[in-house]
């Protein structure tokens, strides 16, 4: 599992599930931030935008923390502009 985690080609939950590792995913906080130059480049954004995300904690079946994760979502497509 560790090799797949470091490859970063699949979501962590999918990796754990594919290796039969029992886990729980618990959102700890939700956030709203303004994108910066690094985020704009990673998400191919042309300008600063409001982005949303969450802090998530993944634990094993015994409650031990396996990972603390911050997820930032790309902006939703403006469906009215694309209609």
Per-residue model confidence as pLDDT tens digits over 30-77: 999 999 999 999 999 999 999 999 999 999 989 999 999 999 998 886
Nearest C-alpha neighbor of 25 from the set 66, 71, 57, 65: 57
- Checking if the pLDDT of 4 tops 70, the result is yes
Per-residue pLDDT at 78? 52
Backbone angles phi, psi at 69, to 5 degrees: -130, 140
Q: Would you call 65 helix, strand, or coil by DSSP?
A: strand
> What is the separation of C-alpha 1 from the centre of its chain, rounded to a whole number of angstroms?
18
Q: What is the pTM of this model?
A: 0.69
Q: What is the DSSP letter of 61?
A: T
Q: What are 23's strand-pairing partners? A: 60
33's tokens: 């931030």
Per-residue pLDDT at 29? 97
């Amino acid at each position: 599992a560790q090799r797949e985690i470091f490859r970063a080609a699949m979501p962590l939950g999918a990796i754990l599930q594919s290796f039969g590792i029992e886990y729980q995913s618990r959102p700890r906080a939700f956030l709203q931030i303004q994108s910066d130059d690094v985020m704009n480049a990673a998400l191919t954004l042309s300008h600063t935008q409001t982005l949303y995300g969450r802090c998530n904690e993944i634990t094993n079946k015994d409650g031990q923390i396996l990972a603390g994760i911050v997820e930032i979502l790309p902006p939703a497509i403006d469906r009215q502009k694309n209609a």
